[in-house]
Amino acid sequence: MSLIQDRWNPKTLFTSLVVTTALFSSAHASSSDEQFEIGKQKAKVCMTCHGEDGISTQEPYPNLRGQKMGYLISSLKDYQTRERTSGLAVLMQQQADALSDQDIEDISYFYSQLGNEK
């Protein structure tokens, strides 16, 4: 076979696709696992009110376990900009003010994945 025929050989293409997919999946899984652990560490202060497993043991505090990541990000940013003002907003505004955008993303990822761990 010529080089061109070998390059476009279905077996060669399939093997390349499988290897590439496996490499990217492994890297993504590692990255996701890492972000989960980072988020878990950053969320320790959140656990005081929202529970260690994301299920609050105190009535006024909502459960965060399995909540959608986009909703959590939006909520924390709304606390930072003072768009959320009801209930215990003053407490959450103070907590959110201490968070960077990366912190918000990591914490939100952690809670969104909590309960979905493999």
Domain ranges of the chain: 10-113
Residue with the bigger pLDDT between 104 and 5: it is 104
Task: Report residue 60 CA to chain centroid gap.
Answer: 24
CATH architecture for segment(s) 10-113: Orthogonal Bundle (1.10)
Assess contact for 76 and 27: CB atoms under 8 A: no
Distance, in Å, from the CA atom of 70 to the CA atom of 49, rounded to the nearest integer, reads 21
pTM attached to this predicted model: 0.73
Assess contact for 112 and 69: CB atoms under 8 A: yes
Average pLDDT over the chain, rounded to whole?
84
pLDDT in tens, 13-29: 444 444 444 444 344 44
Assess contact for 20 and 26: CB atoms under 8 A: no
Residues 6+ apart with CB under 8 A from 6: 12
| pLDDT tier at 5, thresholds 50, 70, 90 | low
Does pLDDT of 79 surpass 50?
Answer: yes
pLDDT in tens, 27-45: 444 699 999 999 999 999 9
